[in-house]
């Protein structure tokens, strides 16, 4: 009986899917075009067949209606709505649907010509393409058969003889050519080579030169299928393009309005260091602006300096728009350009207020508010001042811990100065990004009802700079953090006494040291199919204090710790590495792989890492099948009491890996399937008898594993993420019984309550 019901459901489902094909409402005599197949016919050995086929496929027009095999829901919506839909629902279907691509709209003979042209551009000079239409009852597809030969390869690329300055520059750039002998002829590669040479010329003053003024002569050999290319300059190049141009006057308008004439010059000017400022007074000091203007009077024009000027002025954060207009200078001597730097300022002061409602996996819920004031030109030197006041309140509104609450206040002040503040003179660099000095002072107050009050002070002095669009550095030679826990309740002290390691973590700590981080991010290159990301950070603390005490003959140890301003100072070294790979596919889906590793070593004055420097695992950006910070250390099982979730143990070592496949569902709604694995561990030096230490021969058997599915509302500037995950491996279970995938029982309410974890978060996990 059950089988018959199942088969009925299968039949009904198939009928419903068939009805979504969209062919039912086709005009009489028409057939739906379902796409084309490309077949390659050749003799002998052909390399790069996939690339050749992809080139041919790129020339096929039109594209068929989108959908799944046998299903075209958007086409069905359009056709079902009819020619002149009435009613809101049918109008909505028509608008959201997709017009049918009919066989009658396809021009296969013209497409065959496009395919041959595409193959010609890829070195197959004598291809011929024929087609065949395969018709079915309601649909039709086309098979294109391409008769091809081995692609012509480049035998040699000859550069012009160095007869003048222009041809000399082109000849000198031969060492960096993108065209290598033995490679297949490719028109796109030749176009890219022309653009490269044009960039070389633009950087050497040839302002009016254009890539189209270069051409490649070709001499083919039928016997060995090779082509010899000769690069030359066209004869009809305009005279201007053959001359080097220099910068004459530099005009800077710091208050340019988009309503103004962009070529107008104001009467009120201020002359400073060979530049004219179009105002008697400037809001940002002239010297500060000129640090980012790399077009200087008397220098040869350079496109590179042009772009550096644009990027540095924009990265200051004070301007909405930056333009650099170059016009021929009105002088008796030709070959000079006037540079007009037009700056449209952003509002000097802004105020922003944000409020969120946060729900955590430990059943705490409550509002969080963030107030931010920004001043973009605090001391008339383009300094950015951020004043931030954040606060939150959370409470358990149900369960046995009902009415337990906590709240926090987090004021913070940050100042960014657009240069390095150092005791020595720094040389001028050709970086497109302005280096910045950062000074930060923050205070955190946390009140956990019936437990403790925590006070934290942070001070930071450091530098941020970018090598290029992918590489960024941050060095903080001074990083100070002071934490004190006061008003401890008897219940809290009892919990700490039961766990010496946790007690050590919550002791009053003074952290003073230095930090450095480096990031490499290829996601800023959107056209790259394979994108890589790396973030590494390292920090040390307490060494200077211990060195000073050792020089004074004082012995330092965790049992006899040294103090600074009455508090025990922390001494440790810590490093973390985060590597990711993003593989982008043609259908806008993406495969993401991530590997994270971190380790911290307390020594000298400390036996444990400070609590805020320990590693944790589990949660919405970690192993999503487990509650936040609930995994490890090792095979240790954290307390399941949500009331004391903030007392979870951290570790000195962390290893974690993630894999996630992301795909589009409809427009802004995206889906994902993922798996996460990892754990944290303690080092042997930590005084924690109840928690197993890291073992090279055993750690792999203590890996937690989880998997799940996700939905993401991605509207470009905001991503709301829902990830539902379940554990596949629990490291705290007895050995041999840690894999739990065979115990999955979606129909069991008790299993669902214990094992299904819903993570709600902002942004992607990695």
Mean pLDDT per 10-residue segment, the chain (766 residues) = 43 45 78 93 87 92 80 84 86 87 93 95 94 92 94 91 88 90 92 94 94 92 88 91 93 82 61 85 88 93 94 91 91 86 92 77 73 93 93 72 78 94 82 92 88 89 93 95 86 77 74 95 88 96 87 79 83 96 89 96 88 90 90 82 65 95 88 95 66 83 95 83 94 91 90 89 86
State the Cα–Cα distance between residues 569 and 694, nearest whole angstrom: 26
Residue 13: the pLDDT is: 44
Q: Report in angstroms the alpha-carbon separations of 397 from 30, 402, 448.
A: 63, 5, 15
Please list, in sequence order, all residues whose beta carbon lies within 8 angstroms of the beta carbon of residue 292, skipping any fewer than 6 positions away: 309, 312, 313, 316, 434
Residue 358: the pLDDT is: 66
- Residue 33, token pair as written in the block: 């075009």
Residue 644: the pLDDT is: 57
Place of tokens 């080097």: 244
Please list, in sequence order, all residues whose beta carbon lies within 8 angstroms of the beta carbon of residue 236, skipping any fewer than 6 positions away: none
Residue 490: the pLDDT is: 84
DSSP states of 689-738: TTSPBP-TTTGGGG-EEEEEEEEEEE-SS-EEEEEEEEEEE-TTSPTT--
Q: For the domain bounded by 153-242, which CATH number is listed?
A: 3.10.20.310
State the Cα–Cα distance between residues 734 and 644, nearest whole angstrom: 25
Given a contact cutoff of 8 angstroms between Cβ atoms, the answer to whether 296 and 309 are in contact is no
Given a contact cutoff of 8 angstroms between Cβ atoms, the answer to whether 213 and 231 are in contact is no
State the Cα–Cα distance between residues 381 and 353, nearest whole angstrom: 26
Q: Where are the chain's structural domains?
A: 15-147, 153-242, 246-345, 615-766
Strands 336-345 and 319-328, by their bridges, are antiparallel
Residue 359: the pLDDT is: 64
Residue 5: the pLDDT is: 44
Closest CA to 590 of 677, 658, 529, 667: 529
Given a contact cutoff of 8 angstroms between Cβ atoms, the answer to whether 111 and 144 are in contact is yes
State the Cα–Cα distance between residues 30 and 135, nearest whole angstrom: 11
Domain 246-345 matching CATH 3.10.20.310: the answer reads yes
**Residue 287, SS3 per DSSP:** helix
Biggest CA–CA distance in the chain, Å, is 100
Residues facing 215 on adjacent strands:
232
Given a contact cutoff of 8 angstroms between Cβ atoms, the answer to whether 318 and 418 are in contact is no
State the Cα–Cα distance between residues 578 and 761, nearest whole angstrom: 20
Counts of helices then strands in the chain (DSSP H, E): 13, 29
Q: Which helix (H) or strand (E) holds 502?
A: helix 500-505
Domains 153-242 and 246-345 are alike in CATH topology: yes
In this structure, what are the phi and psi dihedrals at residue 147, rounded to the nearest 5 degrees? Answer: -90, 110
State the Cα–Cα distance between residues 22 and 13, nearest whole angstrom: 16
- Residue 596, token pair as written in the block: 């994270």
DSSP letter, residue 325: E
Residue 6: the pLDDT is: 43
DSSP letter, residue 450: T
CA angle 529, 532, 533 (to 5 degrees): 145
């Amino acid at each position: 009986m059950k089988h018959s019901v199942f088969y009925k459901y299968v039949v009904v489902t198939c009928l419903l899917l068939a009805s979504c094909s969209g062919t039912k409402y086709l005009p009489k005599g028409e057939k739906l075009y379902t796409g084309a197949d490309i077949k390659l016919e050749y003799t002998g050995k052909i390399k790069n067949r996939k690339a050749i086929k992809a080139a041919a496929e790129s020339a096929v027009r039109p594209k068929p209606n989108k959908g799944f095999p046998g299903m075209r829901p958007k086409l069905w919506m359009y056709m079902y709505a009819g020619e002149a839909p009435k009613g809101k629902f049918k109008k909505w279907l028509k608008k959201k649907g997709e017009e049918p691509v009919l066989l009658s709209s396809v021009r296969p003979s013209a497409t065959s010509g496009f395919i041959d042209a595409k193959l010609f551009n890829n070195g197959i000079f004598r291809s011929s393409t024929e087609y065949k239409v395969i018709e079915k009852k309601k649909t039709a597809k086309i098979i294109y058969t391409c008769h091809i030969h081995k692609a012509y390869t480049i035998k040699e690329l000859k550069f012009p003889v160095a007869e003048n300055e222009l041809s000399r520059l082109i000849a000198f750039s031969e060492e960096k050519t993108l065209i290598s002998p033995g490679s297949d002829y490719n028109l796109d590669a030749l176009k890219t080579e022309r653009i490269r040479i044009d960039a070389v010329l633009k950087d050497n003053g040839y302002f009016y030169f254009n890539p189209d003024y270069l051409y490649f002569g070709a001499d083919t050999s039928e016997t060995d299928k090779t082509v010899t290319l000769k690069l030359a300059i066209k004869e009809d190049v305009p005279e201007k393009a053959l001359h080097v141009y220099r910068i004459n006057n530099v005009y800077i308008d710091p208050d340019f309005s988009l309503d103004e004439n962009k070529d107008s010059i104001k009467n009120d000017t201020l002359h400073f260091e060979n530049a004219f400022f179009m105002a008697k007074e400037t809001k940002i000091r002239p010297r500060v602006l000129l640090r980012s203007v790399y077009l200087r009077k008397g220098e040869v024009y350079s496109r590179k300096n042009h772009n550096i000027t644009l990027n540095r002025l924009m990265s200051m954060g004070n301007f909405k728009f930056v333009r650099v207009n170059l016009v021929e200078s009105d002088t008796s001597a030709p070959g000079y350009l006037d540079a007009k730097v037009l700056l449209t300022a952003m509002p000097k002061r802004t105020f922003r207020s944000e409020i969120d409602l946060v729900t955590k996996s430990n059943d705490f819920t409550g509002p969080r508010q963030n107030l931010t004031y920004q001043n973009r030109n605090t001391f008339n030197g383009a300094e950015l001042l951020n004043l931030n006041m954040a606060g939150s309140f959370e409470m358990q509104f149900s369960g046995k811990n009902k009415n337990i609450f906590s709240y926090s206040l987090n004021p913070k002040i940050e100042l960014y100065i657009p240069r390095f503040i150092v005791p020595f003179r720094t040389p001028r660099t050709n970086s497109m990004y302005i280096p910045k000095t950062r000074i930060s002072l923050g205070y955190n107050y946390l009140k956990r009802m019936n437990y403790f009050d925590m006070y934290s002070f942070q001070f930071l002095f450091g530098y941020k700079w970018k090598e290029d669009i992918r590489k960024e550095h941050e060095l903080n030679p001074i990083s100070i953090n002071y934490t004190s826990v006061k008003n401890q309740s008897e219940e809290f002290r009892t919990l700490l006494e039961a766990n010496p390691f946790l007690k050590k973590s919550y002791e009053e700590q003074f952290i003073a040291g230095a930090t450095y981080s480096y990031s490499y991010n290829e996601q800023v290159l959107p056209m790259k199919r394979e994108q890589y990301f790396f973030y590494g950070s390292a920090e040390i603390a307490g060494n200077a204090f211990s060195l000073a005490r050792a020089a004074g003959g004082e012995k330092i140890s965790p049992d006899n710790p040294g103090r600074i301003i009455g508090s025990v100072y922390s001494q440790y070294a810590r490093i973390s590495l985060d590597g990711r790979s993003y593989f982008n596919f043609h259908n806008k889906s993406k495969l993401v792989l991530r590997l994270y590793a971190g380790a911290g070593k307390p020594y000298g004055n400390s036996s444990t890492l400070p609590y805020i420097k320990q590693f944790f695992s589990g949660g919405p950006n970690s192993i999503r099948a487990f509650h936040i910070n609930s995994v490890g250390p090792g095979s240790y099982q954290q307390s399941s009491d949500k009331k004391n979730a903030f007392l979870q143990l951290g570790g000195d070592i962390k290893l974690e890996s993630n894999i996630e496949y992301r795909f589009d569902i409809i427009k802004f709604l995206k889906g994902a399937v993922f798996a996460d694995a990892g754990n944290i561990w303690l080092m042997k030096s930590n005084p924690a008898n109840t928690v197993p230490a890291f073992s090279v021969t055993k750690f792999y058997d203590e890996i937690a594993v989880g998997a799940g599915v996700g939905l993401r509302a991605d509207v470009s500037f905001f991503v709301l993420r829902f990830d539902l995950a379940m554990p596949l491996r629990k490291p705290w279970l007895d050995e041999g019984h840690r894999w739990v995938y065979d115990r999955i029982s979606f129909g069991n309410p008790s299993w669902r309550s214990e094992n299904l974890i819903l993570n709600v978060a902002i942004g992607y996990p990695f």
